Chain A
Amino acid sequence: MVRLPYLTALTTLFSYGLLFAFGQMRDFFRKILDLWKSKNLQGYAPICLGLEDFYTRRLYLRIQDCFNRPIASAPDAWIDVVERYSKDSNKTLHRTSKINKCLNLGSYNYLGFAAADEYCTPRVIESLKQYSPSTCSARVDGGTTKLHAELEEVVARFVRKPAAILFGMGYATNSAIIPALIGKGGLIISDSLNHNSIVNGARGSGATVRVFQHNSAAHLEEVLREQIAEGQPRTHRPWKKIIVIIEGIYSMEGELCKLPEIIAVCKKYKAYTYLDEAHSIGAIGKSGRGVCELLGVDTADMDIMMGTFTKSFGSCGGYIAASKEIIQHLKNTCPAHFYATSMSPPAAQQVISAIKVVLGEDGSNRGAQKLAQIRDNSNFFRSELHKMGFEVLGDNDSPVMPIMLYNPAKIPAFSRECLRRNLAVVTVAFPATPLLLARARICISASHTREDMIKALEVISKVGDLVGIKYFPVEPQKHLTDKIQKKLE
């Protein structure tokens, strides 16, 4: 967990307080100026009431240029960021034709499949010619092509589960599948930092939702014992079933799930486990099979394994892998399978080809190289950041590393200064993180070379000094120790 330094917390709160006060003042004047305008509503309630969009208007718009930056290339190691300008102090942004070639530390291109690939791209184009971009039909109607059937089989084999089912969007995979698994009278115990798609899916299911402290098996056990003993609220009937939902890598923390401990607790209390591997599948593990492989957990212990194709495989969509019975049940009930347009066939082909590369079935060892490269890159980058004194979250081997910024003013400062030095980084603030814990997030890719890494580190170090986010003491520099060694010799 993050431990917010006392002074930083104080300055951060002060900054937000100031922004809030100014925002309120501006709102006050706006209200006076808009008094005559409100009559134009003619009896409609305003689309946003009072404070609902205060954050957007008064805080977000000031630094809008740090987000939604358009790019004009594939999201590969280097990207062409389109320059934008604003004439009304950031309220609206306009594109220019100028581009800025930047090193990309923002995209989830873990294995480097985002750009054209010698094995995948020709096959994708072939599939596009054969199947067109879309089937215009749901999976259960006329939206199942041979590619979909093949991909389901390939994915099941890859994650080592008996069967799998596909969806055209990762977000919808979670939000449409959870209601098909559990309903009223069921209990979902969810990690406190789970992704919004899980939160929405759990809410949409009608089941009771409880939260356990992030990654804490002890607290999970406490919640489980309490809930099983209490039963359903008011009626005290025993729960129909309990599903514990966790993620493989938490995308905003870069942390790996403490899977062995959590699985042991779930097994002990007969709770079902649902693992969301959106960021971990393909990116970690010896053969890219995700967090189970990395932490030595048998996939048979997982009841439901979910993952997406957006990240490591450079495509779109998501999957659920589970036992044959569960997959059959989902195929009979899941709304996304019934009503949503099936996954685009060329995108399915991209995943099939990418998995084949990862498994070495393309007849080369590029997959193994990519996996070694991302692991190497991540660990190198993380240890260097630590040495420079940044507060970096997350575990070793994880390609996601957040650098804490805290103060709201440091968000745009870090982002803009990096961009000026041709480095595209992602800064994350509320609502994706708690208000006080704004951060920059680095996503490492296998397509980054060592030179790229060193350049990025130089820039981040320089900007880090400028913005003042090296919250920890700097470790003795390497060249210093070298000098000392030389002297000794």
Chain B
Amino acid sequence: MASSAMLVTTAALDWVSAAFDAPLARAVVFGIHIDGHLVVEMLLIAVILFQLSRKSYKHPKKPLTEKEIDDLCEEWVPEPLCPPISEEKQFHTPTLESAAAPHTIVNGKEVVNFASANYLGLIGHEKIINSCIGSLEKYGVGSCGPRAFYGTIDVHLDCEKKIANFLGTPDSIIYSYGISTIFSVIPAFCKKGDIIVADEGVHWGVQNGLYLSRSTVVYFKHNDMASLQSTLEKLTRGNKRAEKLRRYIVVEAVYQNSGQVAPLDEIIRLKEKYRFRVILDENHSFGVLGNSGRGLAEYYGVPIEKIDIITAGMGNSLATDGGFCTGSVRVVDHQRLSSSGYVFSASLPPYLATAAISAVDYLEENPSILATLKNNIALLRKGLSDVAGLEVSSSPQSPIVFLKLKKSRGSQDKDLQVLEKIVSRVLHEDSVFLVTSKRSTLDKCRLPVGIRIFVSAGHSESDILKAVDSLKRVAALELE
């Protein structure tokens, strides 16, 4: 087939050149002999050029007509803004009728409160309330503006200095909301292309920060240093490009989701070996761990400058609100113009900054309060060591005592239902207020759920024994 087509073409070309040969015979232009051959070749080149100059073939575009778009818009049915609400997913939160101190009032009844991260027992402390009143009278309630635009009150600067001095860091920066601290700090330092190695059990604030940073995030097994090491090894070995990128390890000091304490000495060793920076979230360890409450670094005896960035909420041990980030001057100054939660948000109400200053003062003057807290934690852990169907899974130093089911019911939701029932009976029958570790559906943490008991230095021995007895009794009824 092909050869016959070739033959036909060759014959046609020969004929054409022959046809041109005759009239053009012996025509010479600028010394070039023009014959039929040349004419054919010129023709072919012209055709090729013509074809090349044309655009490649495309489907003819037929844009939708206005009528069609109208129909599409007419047809489109959006989903409802929220899914229908199922009854079992609802949480019944008790409403407090007095301050969330170790003893509070729910439904007109006095209960022992283990639901507030009031570790130092500073809620209701007279000295702090008095300092707040002074501040309220001088500065009013809100600051009415972001820090850049006359929202910087002198107490904010004092508070920043106080925290930096307390921790022994060069400088610190205050945010107006605990949870927004970490999710503003991470994107301020980590950008697209940077590498972050994070623990898989980090709380939602950190998860959100990791997501917003758009960096490459690699998770390691919860609080497992072998897993961290192998992750770091895998990322850096033979990877010349990684040396040029900023690399961070993101961990929590005391994990909100499990009560585990991060082994900082090991993390620092790995960080120095693989040249990573560390971002440490000290939400539940600042003001709690260490002999004077200076947090995880003090507890492990690690010099604080080895940790590059430390963040913490002030809504826990300091019993106020907001959060801070501390580190070198460069780290802090960088945030003042590029951390969105700091730049674009109104500043912390001044009375809350005053409360933070007074709380740190109090801690400095009364370090013995930490011993009380430690005793309380030990007492509670001892009591809970043999509760039917439940086990303590938090670290011994953690102020969050985390109780999880010995045998999971198969899913987080089912576990949570069982635990919720226990907690609700404990509250209603024995007036002890405990909470489960409820999770938002947006939370990606897959660690087992449990009962979170926030121990405070303000709890008396009888409070703790009461909680232990009640839990033992109800757990025995519910889980056996």
Contact = CB atoms under 8 A, between A and B. Distances in A.
Contacts of A95: 154, 157
A133 B152 contact: no
Contacts of A67: 148-149
B76 A72 contact: no
B193 to A, nearest CB: 10
Size class of the A contact interface (CB-based, 8 Å): 35 or more
A25 B212 CA distance: 34
Contact of B79 (A140, A241, A313): A241
B442 A424 contact: no
Contacts of A195: 344
B282 to A, nearest CB: 15
Interface residues of B, number: 114
B138 A73 contact: yes
Nearest to B68: A229
B189 interface: yes
Nearest to B275: A43
Contact of A106 (B72, B149, B189): B149
A152 to B, nearest CB: 11
A44 interface: yes
Contact of B212 (A204, A240, A339): A204
A142 B115 contact: yes
Contacts of A372: none
B320 A133 contact: yes
B429 interface: no
A339 B142 contact: no
A347 B349 contact: yes
A180 B315 contact: no
A76 interface: yes
B152 A70 contact: yes
Nearest to B247: A45
A134 B150 contact: no
A200 B209 CA distance: 10
A45 B246 contact: yes
B319 interface: yes
B323 to A, nearest CB: 9
A331 B319 CA distance: 24
B239 to A, nearest CB: 13
A215 interface: no
Given A128-B132, A132-B129, A133-B319, A340 B76 contact: no
Contacts of B139: 73-74
Given A67-B148, A76-B140, A315 B132 contact: no
B443 A60 contact: no
A316 B141 contact: yes
A240 B96 CA distance: 39
B243 A143 contact: no
Nearest to B180: A172
Contacts of B203: 339
Given A95-B154, A316-B349, A338-B438, A309 B245 contact: no
Interface in A229-253: 229, 238-243
Nearest to A312: B144
B95 A145 contact: yes
Nearest to A42: B275
A47 B276 CA distance: 11
A453 interface: no
B99 A131 contact: yes
Given A140-B91, A149-B95, A204 B208 contact: yes
A406 interface: no
Interface stretch (B5-13, B218-226, B333-341): B333-341
A334 B203 CA distance: 14
A341 B152 contact: no
Interface string B458-471: 00000000000000
A73 to B, nearest CB: 7
Contact of A134 (B72, B73, B321, B338): B321
A426 interface: yes
A140 B93 contact: yes
Contact of B117 (A106, A137, A272, A304): A137
B177 A172 contact: yes
B398 interface: no
A209 interface: no
A255 to B, nearest CB: 19
A134 B320 contact: yes
A331 B441 CA distance: 11
Contacts of B143: 75, 310, 316
The 8 closest A-B pairs by CB, nearest first: A142-B115, A341-B315, A169-B177, A329-B82, A171-B345, A74-B140, A310-B346, A340-B179
25 contacts: A70-B152, A70-B153, A70-B156, A109-B144, A131-B99, A132-B100, A133-B132, A133-B355, A135-B96, A137-B115, A169-B345, A169-B346, A170-B346, A175-B180, A225-B69, A239-B76, A310-B145, A314-B141, A316-B142, A326-B82, A335-B443, A338-B439, A340-B179, A346-B132, A431-B343
